[in-house]
Every structure is written in C-alpha cells, then in structure tokens.
Amino acid sequence: MSLALISLLALIGFLTGFSKTAIGGIGLVNAALLATILPAKESMGVMLILLITGDLFAIGIYKKHVEWKMLRSLIWPIIFGIFAGVYFLSRSTDASLKHTIGAIVILLVILYPISQRLQNNNFSLNLRYPKSLRLTLGIMTGFMSMVANSGGPPMSIYLLLRKNTVMKFMGNNAWLFFIVNLFKLPFVFALGLLDFNSLSYIIPALPLVPLGALLGRKVINKINQELFQNITLISAALAGLNLLIN
C-alpha cells in the first residue's frame, strides 16, 4: 500500500470522526472519496466500521441530548429503507453502485441547502405533514444509509424541520445512526462487503477517527460553519461527479 493511499485513508478516518461531532456534511465527501479509491462494495464495509467508531464518540459527547420517543417513531421506516437497500446491493454490480453513490451524493448536496432555506424561512412542513414527512425521510435515510452510508442528509432535513436545538440535533443524530449502523452490520457481512482483507484499509484510518471526533467537539462553536459547509458541499459534489463520470 502506497504512502499516498495510507495518508488518504487517514484523512478519511479523521474527517469521519469530525463529521460525527461537528460538520455532518463531510460524510458525503468521505463516502464518495472511499468509493473512488476502493471497489464500491468494499468501500461500504470499510466506511461502516469507521462510522460506528465515530458514533461511539458522538453518543459519549451528546448522550444527554436525545428524544427517544421521536427516534422510536422513525425506526420502522428506516428499517424498511435498509431492507430495500440490502435488496439493491444484492443485485447491483460494482460499477452500478459507484454510479448510484455518485448520484445519491449529488442529490443530497442539492437537498441540503434546501433544508437550510426552509429552516431559515420557518417553513412548517413538518407541522402540516408530520406522518408523510417521517415516512418519506425515514425510508430515504435507511436506503441511502445502506447503499451509500449517506443517510445523514435526509435525516438532517427531518430534524431541521422539527426545529431541534443544536445539541438535540447532534444527540438525536448520534444515537439514531449508532443504532442504524449496528443494525446494518450483519447485512454487510452477509453480502460479503466486509472481510479480513478490509482490515488493511480500516487500520490506517481507524486511529484518526477519535482525533477527528474530539477536535470537532472543541471547534464546533468556533468555526465559520456556513463557509465550511459550502466548501464541504462543493467537495462532495465534485467527488460525486467523479464517480458518475468514471
């Protein structure tokens, strides 16, 4: 394994931890980057281990800021979406999965600013269509999480429309995706997306996940989040386009 690849994997590990405690949009970049340097299906398993590691630190930091009743209402739509994602993965080729991940990343890059605009305009979509919104975004979260490890943006839209405080937003996200990612693990093994060969890619990235998570918690209130979010979305879009074109 080249030094450049090891360095890139370490960067992905760091950004995975950072995304769990600070800027969630970075997860889009990680999913697209990893699918660029590894076979798409293998990248899914490697990314999942990094995400679960980041989840552990996120729930440790935001463990008191969670709404269990709201999370329970999302479980069945998300599980349905995960099963749909499992079926899709069992039928897809590596090339088609790369294109799917690229398309999902670009779609979510488009949706993310829309969710922020709705929030800023106090648009009460969640009050008008609470059940429809929960079912739609829950299924999208499960499917996109299973297929591309990118369930964060649709869930972020749901939480933003519910007008969560920052701490509840982070806490709900942390606990939800810790549970979701653990639930996905047996399916990832069953589909052959994770094996002993994956360790060679996990080991260079794993030690940097805690560092990214801890740094993210320290700087979350100090960085210019709008600027950083814009840079992240542009990077994600470019990575997604690369997957689609190549």
Tokens of 222: 């100090």
Query: How far is the C-alpha of 143 from the C-alpha of 151, rounded, in Å?
Result: 7
Tell me how long the chain is.
246
Count other Cβ atoms within 10 Å, centred on residue 201: 24
Predicted local confidence at residue 149, as pLDDT = 84
Could you say which residues of the chain have pLDDT below 70? 23-25, 28, 112, 114-130, 160-164, 220-221, 223-232, 235-236, 239, 246
Predicted local confidence at residue 111, as pLDDT = 72
For the chain, which residues make up each domain, given as ranges?
A: 3-245
Predicted local confidence at residue 44, as pLDDT = 87
Predicted local confidence at residue 223, as pLDDT = 64
Predicted local confidence at residue 137, as pLDDT = 85
Q: Give the distance, in angstroms, between the CA of residue 191 and the centroid of all CA atoms in the same chain.
A: 20
Predicted local confidence at residue 130, as pLDDT = 63
Q: Which residues contact 20 (CB under 8 A, 6 or more apart)?
A: 51, 54, 55, 57, 58, 174, 212, 213, 216
pLDDT digits (tens, 9 = 90+) for 196-228: 888 999 999 999 999 998 888 887 667 666 666
